[in-house]
């Protein structure tokens, strides 16, 4: 029925009908966003010979969808993306105000050094903060398997194709040795190797 309606709406033009259906699917995805997603799966991905590992919780509305191949593939793809892109947060609302303010101060200082007027500086800061979010927030990152879309767009497409609300709730990314201080001799050897000594 949707195909017939799309063809009727577009005057029988098949290409326009396909676009119409795709837009309708994404519109349907936004309608589903308010529905509770309390089922789902915890997915994992180990990369680089065990040097990077990811656990991600992705929720959906029903257990039936949680067992669906497409949903499971989505969870796996998101875990792989997290391993590759190393986001720090799922969405920008999770970034604390002090982190954002610290970034703004850095951008403000850089912009002032160039001698730009204050009204231009504020626009520069706004653009830089949006780039900052795109670097550290999973949903705003360019999707590693298709750089023409963001993770949010990939999520919306998946919601449209599966027909249920899906939410990426949280994740943990582990990188071997991350946060540990290297031994003095290891650091010195790395510096020497980098310098060609």
- Do both 157 and 188 map to the same domain? yes
Output the domain CATH number for residue 78. 3.30.479.20
Torsional sign, CA 17, 21, 22, 24? positive
Say how many domains are in the chain: 2
Give residue 135's pLDDT.
Answer: 96
Give residue 38's pLDDT.
Answer: 75
- Least confident range of 30-34, 70-74, 142-146, 184-188: 30-34
pLDDT tens readout for residues 82-115 = 999 999 999 999 999 999 999 999 998 888 888 8
Domain holding 14, by residue range, is: 1-32
Would residue 184 count as lying in a domain?
Answer: yes
pLDDT tens readout for residues 13-63 = 767 766 766 666 655 545 545 556 679 999 999 987 899 999 999 999 999
Rounded-to-integer distance, Cα 113 and Cα 97, Å:
24
Would residue 44 count as lying in a domain?
Answer: yes
On whether the pTM is more than 0.75, the answer is no
Would residue 14 count as lying in a domain?
Answer: yes
- Do both 46 and 26 map to the same domain? no
Would residue 4 count as lying in a domain?
Answer: yes
- Do both 51 and 79 map to the same domain? yes
Strands 39-47, 166-175: pairing kind: unpaired
Would residue 54 count as lying in a domain?
Answer: yes
């Amino acid at each position: 029925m949707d195909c017939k309606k799309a063809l009727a709406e577009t005057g029988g033009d098949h290409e326009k009908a396909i676009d119409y259906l795709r837009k309708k699917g994404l519109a349907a995805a936004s309608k589903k966003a308010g529905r509770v997603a309390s089922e789902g799966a915890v997915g994992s991905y180990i990369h680089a010979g065990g040097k990077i590992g990811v656990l991600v919780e992705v929720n959906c509305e029903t257990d039936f969808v949680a067992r669906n191949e497409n949903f499971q593939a989505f969870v796996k793809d998101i875990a792989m993306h997290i391993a590759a892109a190393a986001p720090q947060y799922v969405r920008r609302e999770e970034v604390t105000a002090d982190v954002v303010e610290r970034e703004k101060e850095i951008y403000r200082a850089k912009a002032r050094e160039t001698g730009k007027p204050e009204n231009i500086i504020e626009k520069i800061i706004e653009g830089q903060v949006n780039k900052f979010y795109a670097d550290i927030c999973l949903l705003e990152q360019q999707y590693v398997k298709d750089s023409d879309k963001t993770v949010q767009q990939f999520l919306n497409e998946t919601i449209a194709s599966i027909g249920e609300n899906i939410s990426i709730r949280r994740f943990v990314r582990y990188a071997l040795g991350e946060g540990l201080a290297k031994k003095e001799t290891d650091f010195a050897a790395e510096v020497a190797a980098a310098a060609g000594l």
